[in-house]
Each structure stands twice: as structure tokens, then as C-alpha cells.
Amino acid sequence: MNAFEIIEREIIKYPKTVVIGHIQPDGDCIGASLGLKYLIEENYGISPIVVNQPIARFGFLGSWNLPGSVDYSDAFVIQVDNSARERSADPSFMAAPSILKIDHHIVMDSYGHENIEELLSSCCEIIASHAIRRKLKIGADAARCLYAGMVTDTGRFSYPSVDSSTLRTAATLLDTGFDLSFLISKINERSMDSVNFIIHAYSQLRVSPGGVLYMYITQDVIDRYHLTPDMVSEALSCMRDIKGYPIFVLFADLNGKIRVEFRSDRIKINQVAVEFGGGGHAFACGARLDDASRIPDVVKELEKYIP
């Protein structure tokens, strides 16, 4: 079923519609939630409430409400880019009488009353492709947000999840006439703290005996460079293009836990994420550890997947 068939049916049943992203939002999360908001406004005359955690980097795309600010008991909720209910920016959304999940990750938890779960390159690609097939009006604001999510979640359209239909969808968005050069310049924009952190991150690179490339970013480093979670994730770029290391992983302190981000070059490693309580895509996934003592266990498990 087309996602917008469900949206058209449900938005008239409830006094408010709420679009929610996931914890530690990225470009796809913000792009999907705001892009969907603009599409609903343009085509149905209803202005949804958007709920996300704060992230300054993508604030130029629009504004949103913070978690805890919405009563979901009478709402139609659209949860985007989120594979598991506990990873929602506001898990109390489960009190809503009608929930639509739109997600592009490996299916772990079909928590919605309706679920659109497709293994495409990004959640923004799902939303854009469904809007195109439904022949909806796609204005420049919606297109800018959806394109931003697509370009950031695909590594500038370079990841294995990209195919010809991804590029056709992106081209349709670009045809709306939004300012592409401005968008890319804002996405690429970095603070001096972020630049200095990347310089530091290169000094933290480690290689395990079995050939796994990894680094651990401690809380004192995060405090020193005034890093947000998305800024910490930029350290993955230090490892991505290093020849000879097809599996790399970033560990970082986060709210008393260790955030783990797994990446690989066409090696399916998502089962390792699952074993440590996480999940995600085959080549890009994540997990949480209780403390840093588990880091060697994760690295050792990943070594089993080195060719």
C-alpha cells in the first residue's frame, strides 16, 4: 500500500497529526520528518506537529517540537526512520490510537498499526517515491528536505543501497528547483571545534590483531571539543576510506553508555550489532554497550567477519 493512502485516510480521523524521528537524529531522520510535514501541508491543508531531539546541524531545514511536548492520546502518529519503538525520539508515542511506521532498516519491530517497511537507501527515498507514485505536489521545501536525507544517508549516493531508481527519485526532487548548491554547502558546513576533533580522531585510530579498524571517543574528548552525537559520528569518515580495512567501528561515550557504530565495505555485519542489542542495515548498524569493558568483545566478534 502507498504510505499516502494511509495518511489520507487517517489524518481526517484525529484532531492532530504528529511526525516523529529517532534518538540522535541524522539527516535522513530530520529530512524525512520535515519533508513529510511539508508534503502533508501542501497536499492536504493540515499542518502536522514534528517532534525530534535537538540537532543544530540540520536546523536550516526547518523547526520542530522537543520530546515531551505533545499529548499522543488523540493523535495520528507517523514514526519515520526508526526500526524499534524504544529508539523513538519520544517513546510515549505508543499511546497514540493510530500509528504509521515508515522505515528503511532491516525489520526488527513492526510496532505500527500500519507499517511501510522497505529496504531502500533512505527513509526519505521511501517518502519521496511514494509521493511521486501518488502524483502529489512536491514543493521546493519538501524536496529540499527529502533530498538532504537521501544525500546524507547514502554518502553522496555512493553506498551499495543506491540504485537507478534512487537517482531517478533524486532527479525528480531536484526538478522542483530548490537551491542545490546552498543545500550542499549547508550540509558540508563545519565548526572549528568539529575540524579540530577530526584532527584529533586520526590520532585515535587503532587496528585489532585480526584487522578491525576502530576508535574510542571518550567523554573528556567530547567535552573538550563541545561535540554533539552527530559531530562524534563524523569520526567514521576518518576510517571509511583507509585501504585494507573493510570493517571499521566507532565507540563513543554517550549518556553513561557506549554508543557503537558499525560500518563495512560490503560485508554483512548487522548480526554482530544484534548480538550486542542493536540492529540496522547489513553494512551500517549500531548498538549500545553498558561500559567500555565490552569494547574488546565487540572487536573480537567483528574479526570473525574479516575476509
Does one domain contain both 9 and 130?
yes
List Cα–Cα distances, 128 to 157, 159, 163, 180, 302, in angstroms. Answer: 15, 19, 15, 17, 35
Number of domains in the chain: 2
Residue 65: closest CA among 48, 83, 45, 87? 48
**In the predicted model, is pLDDT for residue 255 greater than 90?**
no
- Per-residue pLDDT reduced to its tens digit, 2-51: 999 999 999 999 999 999 999 989 999 999 999 999 999 999 999 999 99
Per-residue model confidence (pLDDT) at position 274: 92
Does one domain contain both 28 and 137?
yes
* Structure confidence at residue 67 as a pLDDT band (50, 70, 90): very high
3-state secondary structure of 279: strand
Per-residue model confidence (pLDDT) at position 235: 92
Per-residue model confidence (pLDDT) at position 56: 87
> What percentage of the chain reaches a pLDDT higher than 70?
100
Q: Are 197 and 234 in contact (CB under 8 A)?
A: yes
Q: Are 21 and 29 in contact (CB under 8 A)?
A: yes
**pTM reported for the whole predicted model:** 0.90
Does one domain contain both 160 and 292?
no
Mean pLDDT (the chain) is 95
Domain C-terminal end among 142, 172, 187: 187
Per-residue model confidence (pLDDT) at position 279: 85
* Structure confidence at residue 267 as a pLDDT band (50, 70, 90): very high
Per-residue model confidence (pLDDT) at position 199: 95
Residue 249: closest CA among 213, 203, 301, 289? 213
List Cα–Cα distances, 210 to 38, 148, 244, 274, in angstroms. Answer: 48, 37, 12, 21
* Structure confidence at residue 241 as a pLDDT band (50, 70, 90): confident
**In the predicted model, is pLDDT for residue 294 greater than 90?**
yes
Per-residue model confidence (pLDDT) at position 45: 96
Does one domain contain both 148 and 17?
yes
Does one domain contain both 68 and 85?
yes
Tell me the backbone φ, ψ of residue 44, rounded to 5 degrees.
-125, 0
Report the C-alpha gap between 80 and 300 in whole angstroms.
33
Per-residue model confidence (pLDDT) at position 119: 94
Mean pLDDT for the stretch of residues 59-86: 96
DSSP category for residue 92: G
Per-residue model confidence (pLDDT) at position 66: 96
Cβ-based neighbours of 191, under 8 Å, separated by 6 or more: none
Give the strand pairing for 279-280 and 206-207.
Answer: unpaired
Domain C-terminal end among 171, 187, 203: 187
Residue 36: closest CA among 70, 4, 71, 1? 4
CATH number at residue 219: 3.10.310.30
Report the C-alpha gap between 301 and 206 in whole angstroms.
16
CATH number at residue 33: 3.90.1640.10
- Per-residue pLDDT reduced to its tens digit, 274-285: 999 888 888 999
Give the strand pairing for 247-254 and 257-264.
Answer: antiparallel
Does one domain contain both 118 and 182?
yes
Does one domain contain both 181 and 70?
yes
Query: Chain centroid to CA 122: how far?
Result: 8
Q: Are 207 and 245 in contact (CB under 8 A)?
A: yes
Does one domain contain both 146 and 255?
no
- Per-residue pLDDT reduced to its tens digit, 11-20: 999 999 999 9
Report the C-alpha gap between 287 and 294 in whole angstroms.
12
Does one domain contain both 97 and 141?
yes
List Cα–Cα distances, 98 to 9, 19, 20, 220, in angstroms. Answer: 11, 12, 13, 43
Q: Are 249 and 263 in contact (CB under 8 A)?
A: yes
* Structure confidence at residue 264 as a pLDDT band (50, 70, 90): very high
Per-residue model confidence (pLDDT) at position 195: 95
Per-residue model confidence (pLDDT) at position 110: 97
* Residue 248 domain boundaries: 192-303
Domain C-terminal end among 154, 187, 220: 187
Does one domain contain both 144 and 222?
no
Report the C-alpha gap between 20 and 99 in whole angstroms.
11
Does one domain contain both 58 and 92?
yes
Does one domain contain both 163 and 212?
no
Report the C-alpha gap between 152 and 146 in whole angstroms.
10
- Per-residue pLDDT reduced to its tens digit, 100-158: 999 999 898 999 999 999 999 999 999 999 999 999 999 999 999 999 999 999 999 99
